Amino acid sequence: MDRRKFIGSSLVAGLATTGLTSCVSNSSIKTDQKSDILSLSERQKWLAPFACNIEQWFRPMPFLDRINAAKALGFSAVEIWNPNQAKKGKTPESIAKRAKEQGITITTYSPSAPNFADPKNEQAFMQWLDGAIAAGKTLNIPNFNLTGHKLIEGLSEAQMLENYTRVLKKVAPRLEAVNMVATIEPYNPFNHPGHFIYGNEPALSICREVNSPSVKINWDFFHMQRTNGNLITNLENGFDQVAYIQFADSPSRNQPGTGEVAYGKVFTRLRELGYTGYIGAEFFPENKDSLRAASDLARLAKSINLQPSF
């Protein structure tokens, strides 16, 4: 990457502090464009409730360096996808080591579950679960994201749901024994065609049938908005099954303020309902401008006095 393209004086200082020398934006910001960028100290204060999804931010920076970049922007937490990709510089051990060095909390991971609604994949899923649990222990994360709900040729939706639910009932006691939570992530049919779990249903029904503190929902407001809309009412109706929150504005999957969602009201209600965890910023910074995205997010949090609750 072009090492000359740093953005914003405060970000440059942060990168220098962490020893990172890769750019975190697609272009430099002119002086007259910096006036509405919050300072590093303000960003650190108001980004505290959020976890930066470093899979979507800072592309194509080397993966581990994205942890440094998130800290330099003012984040104190990050979230990741599959940690077991050594060819991409990702192992649970290397990620945990870099996060510890930077004083960064990792809030969730998504270790790419097999399509376990297919009975042919059940044994592979059980083996995968061993690795997912081991990765979580190394990363010191008590929850991981669970998908594995692609359509299966030859099976009806009812059969797929029955298989999916049956396997979760089978593994729930094992997850409970190790104090870990698997969070089902419903997608949306526009960005992720070819799946059978979209929006708030059938995920809520699955979790309520499994009836375990270790099988809950990763409630991603982006997918919920694209599938169901009516974000606050649906959140209220499903809040008893929420274990983790992610978000992006809709429909372009950039930071709040770039689309149609009134995130100030959504986050305010989220706190009123009692959600105390991190809120995952799983979006693509608009125009690949990470500094602008971080400042926009911090400004939103400041406008509603959104405080960390952990």
In the prediction, which pLDDT does 118 show?
A: 97
Of 37, 99, 109, nearest to 73 (Cα)?
A: 37
- What are the pLDDT tens digits along the chain (310 aa)? 443 333 334 444 444 444 444 344 433 344 345 678 999 999 999 999 999 999 999 999 999 999 999 999 999 999 999 999 988 889 999 999 999 999 999 999 999 999 999 999 999 999 999 999 999 999 999 999 999 999 999 999 999 999 999 999 999 999 999 999 999 999 999 999 999 999 999 999 999 999 999 999 999 999 999 999 999 999 999 999 999 999 999 999 999 999 999 999 999 999 999 999 999 999 999 999 999 999 999 999 999 999 998 7
pLDDT at position 9, please?
41
Task: Collect all residues with Cβ–Cβ distance below 8 Å to 22 and sequence separation of at least 6.
Answer: 1, 3, 61, 62, 65, 69
Quote the tokens at residue 67.
């942890």
What pLDDT score does 7 carry?
36
Neighbouring C-beta atoms of residue 262, cutoff 10 Å: 11
Task: Determine the Cα–Cα distance for residues 277 and 280; give it in Å rounded to an integer.
Answer: 9
Q: In this structure, are residues 222 and 186 in contact, taking their beta carbons and an 8 Å threshold?
A: no
Provide the pLDDT for residue 10.
Answer: 42
pLDDT at 93: 97
DSSP line for 130-177: HHHHHHHHHHT-SEEEE---B--TT--HHHHHHHHHHHHHHHHHHHHH
pLDDT in tens, 46-57: 999 999 999 999
Give the tens place of pLDDT for each residue, 252-282: 999 999 999 999 999 999 999 999 999 999 9
Identify the three-state secondary structure at position 211: coil
Q: List, in order of start, the domains of the chain with CATH numbers.
A: 9-303 (3.20.20.150)
pLDDT at 87: 87
Question: Could you tell me the CA-to-CA distances from 58 to 11, 251, 288, 289 in Å, in that order?
Answer: 13, 21, 8, 9
Q: Which of 146, 147, 150, 159 is nearest to 196 (CA)?
A: 150
**Please, what is the average pLDDT of the chain?**
91
Residue whose C-alpha is closest to residue 112's, from 77, 88, 76: 88
- SS3 category, 15: helix
Please answer whether residues 136 and 175 qualify as being in contact, where contact means their C-beta atoms are separated by less than 8 angstroms.
no
Q: What is the torsional sign of CA 116, 122, 125, 129?
A: positive
